[in-house]
Amino acid sequence: MTQRDAGGCLAAMKQLVSRSLSALAGLAVAGLLVFSITAHAEGMHGLMLKDGWSRETTANARVGGGYLTIMNHGEMADRLLSVRADHAGMSEVHTMIMQDDVMVMRPVEDPLVIEAGAVLELQPGGLHLMFMQLEQPHVAGESLDVVLVFEHAGERTVTLEVLSMRDSMERMAESGGSHGDHDSGHSDHDSGHSDHDSGHSDHDSGHSDHDSGHSDHDSGHSHN
């Protein structure tokens, strides 16, 4: 190989190395750009879902509750639009309200707003998730995946740990939740069925009195 050929090879190698370094630099810049965009998005929609749990239910239960903490570390408010869970036919956000001096449970009609820097507690006795038309009971020791759909942060999955009745009572005592208030909503719902059945009983009683009148009337004809 002549000196001229060696010089040409060296120049080609330098050009190849230069192009490789330029390509690597481009990749590094692109990586930093993606990281910056991702970090900015996380800052804008920095929601954290934590401490998710649920209480065990009976084998034939049709409803169950869910509780968690939503922390908004972002720079803007967000709204919880809907809830979805595979183990329930319908999932909603419910709250407890005072009605005729009795605490009752009602669905929340408007999306929940989580302000920037705010913490929203979903717990017994207040705002909470309500799962209806259960396809399977909540079994202590198992877990449930629930999807929360937010206006800006999109879909976020939270895992709820199913606690036994005893453990759930301890958890509520720690958080200051009220087991009685939550059950009051269910009791009020059952009370509606009881009133409905009572109406049937009164209606049947009316039929009995009416039939008794016919019997007395027929007895009078027989006497004549």
Distance, in Å, from the CA atom of 211 to the CA atom of 216, rounded to the nearest integer, reads 9
Distance, in Å, from the CA atom of 189 to the CA atom of 208, rounded to the nearest integer, reads 30
Q: What single-letter DSSP state applies at residue 85? A: E
Task: Name the token pair of 198.
Answer: 């009572």
CB 161 within 8 A of CB 54: yes
| pLDDT for position 3 | 60
pLDDT digits (tens, 9 = 90+) for 136-157: 999 999 999 999 999 999 999 9
Residue of 107, 87, 74, 59 whose CA lies nearest to 159: 87
Distance, in Å, from the CA atom of 223 to the CA atom of 22, rounded to the nearest integer, reads 119
| pLDDT for position 15 | 74
Beta strand pairing call for 128-134 and 63-72: antiparallel
| pLDDT for position 88 | 98
| pLDDT for position 114 | 98
| pLDDT for position 126 | 94
List of residues 6+ apart from 141 with CB closer than 8 A: 162, 164
Query: What domains are defined for the chain?
Result: 47-185 (2.60.40.1890)
Q: What are phi and psi of 110, to 5 degrees?
A: -95, 150
pTM: 0.62
Residues of the chain with confidence (pLDDT) below 70: 1-14, 16-18, 20-45, 176-224
Residue 155 pairs with which residues in a beta bridge? 149
